[in-house]
């Protein structure tokens, strides 16, 4: 074999070796990229599991805090209910005797003024006791067919002692129409909203009650022209015993929301250009009331 042939053979062998090396290098590069991708996937999975673990631990801590808080609230609720029961009987006697006394002194303006002030204070305490009892034991709704305007008028009448002479009441409600609901629960919820609105406004302002309705839902809104609710308090106002008032108990909105929730509805703070606006939503009843009157078909369809 001559030198030329040997050289060609060596060149061919080098070319083959280079091709093998290039192919092996490309294979190694592909495998390296695959390993990098797999490592990234493993790292992402690890980070995701770490995030899930941290979220789980945070959720566990939140649940523990909630359990402690609910335990304290339950104990406070039981204590409040006991006190409310003890107060209810003498309070009723005080209210009766005050009314009797007012009848006796109607001819004495100053005595009448003082007596009416006492009656208003007794009414405030009675409202507080009612809220305590309702919060301690929220019953299942006793559904009946009720006139929506009459429910609102009843709530306004009960809230009347809280409505100052300088507060203008605007009623944007239909003149007729029925709905299936628990009249006592809804009335109590509205009274709490009305009283809160009046307390927020003080002596002067506008209190607006509006009703909208279709076949699926009854919507009642209560708006006031007061200072409104700060954004940082918006998430806490429905918590039991949360209040910014010196003499408040923080049960009014909690009881109102529970009463609405018992109907499968919702009570929420709604956006408002000024003051505060609460929207109460009651869905059409899915269970017929036990005592179905002549208006039940009309109410059933949300007329």
Tens of pLDDT along 34-78? 888 888 888 888 888 888 888 888 888 888 877 776 676 666 666
If asked whether residues 63 and 130 sit together in one domain, one would say yes
Residue, of 286 and 221, whose pLDDT is higher = 221
Mean pLDDT of the chain: 81
pLDDT digit string (tens) for 127-140? 777 766 666 666 67
pLDDT of 118 reads: 84
Which CATH number belongs to the domain containing residue 264 in this structure?
3.30.565.10
If asked whether residues 239 and 285 sit together in one domain, one would say yes
Of 88, 107, 137, which residue sits at a domain end?
Answer: 137
Task: Give the global pTM.
Answer: 0.59
Percent helix, strand, coil in the chain (nearest 5)? 60, 15, 25
If asked whether residues 215 and 274 sit together in one domain, one would say yes
292 — pLDDT class (breaks 50, 70, 90): very low
If asked whether residues 160 and 294 sit together in one domain, one would say yes
Identify how many contiguous H helices and E strands the chain contains and give both numbers: 6, 7
How many domains, in total, are found in the chain? Answer: 2
If asked whether residues 119 and 32 sit together in one domain, one would say yes
223 φ/ψ angles, rounded to the nearest 5 degrees: -125, 150
Of 137, 166, 196, which residue sits at a domain end?
Answer: 137
What domain range is 267 assigned to?
A: 144-300
User: Order of strands across the sheet with 277-283?
Assistant: 166-172, 204-213, 217-224, 277-283, 266-270
83 φ/ψ angles, rounded to the nearest 5 degrees: -65, -40
If asked whether residues 58 and 179 sit together in one domain, one would say no
Closest CA to 158 of 127, 122, 119: 127
Structure tokens at 222: 């209560």
If asked whether residues 238 and 275 sit together in one domain, one would say yes
């Amino acid at each position: 074999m001559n030198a030329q042939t040997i050289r060609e053979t060596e060149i061919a062998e080098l070319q083959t070796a280079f091709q093998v090396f290039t192919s092996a290098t490309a294979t190694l590069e592909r495998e390296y990229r695959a390993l990098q991708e797999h490592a990234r996937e493993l790292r992402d999975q690890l980070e995701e599991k770490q995030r899930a673990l941290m979220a789980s631990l945070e959720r566990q801590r939140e649940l523990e805090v909630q359990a402690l808080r609910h335990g304290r609230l339950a104990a406070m609720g039981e204590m409040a209910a006991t006190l409310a029961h003890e107060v209810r009987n003498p309070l009723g006697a005080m209210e009766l005797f005050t009314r009797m006394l007012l009848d006796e002194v109607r001819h004495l303006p100053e005595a009448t003024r003082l007596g009416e002030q006492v009656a208003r204070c007794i009414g405030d305490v009675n409202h507080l006791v009612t809220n305590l009892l309702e919060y301690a034991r929220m019953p299942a709704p006793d559904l009946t067919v009720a006139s929506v305007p009459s429910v609102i008028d009843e709530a306004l009448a009960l809230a009347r002692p809280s409505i100052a002479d300088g507060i203008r009441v605007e009623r944007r409600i239909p003149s007729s129409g029925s709905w299936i609901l628990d009249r006592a629960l809804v009335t109590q919820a509205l009274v709490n909203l009305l009283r809160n609105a009046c307390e927020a406004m003080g002596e002067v302002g506008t209190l607006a009650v509006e009703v909208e309705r279709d076949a699926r839902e009854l919507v009642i809104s209560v708006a006031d022209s007061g200072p409104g609710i700060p954004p940082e308090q918006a998430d806490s106002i429905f918590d039991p015993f949360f209040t910014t008032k010196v003499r408040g108990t923080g049960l009014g909105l909690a009881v109102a929301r529970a009463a609405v929730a018992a109907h499968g509805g919702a009570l929420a703070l709604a956006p408002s250009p000024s003051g505060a606006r609460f929207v109460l939503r009651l869905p059409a009843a899915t269970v017929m009331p036990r005592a179905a009157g002549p208006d039940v078909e009309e109410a059933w369809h949300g007329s």
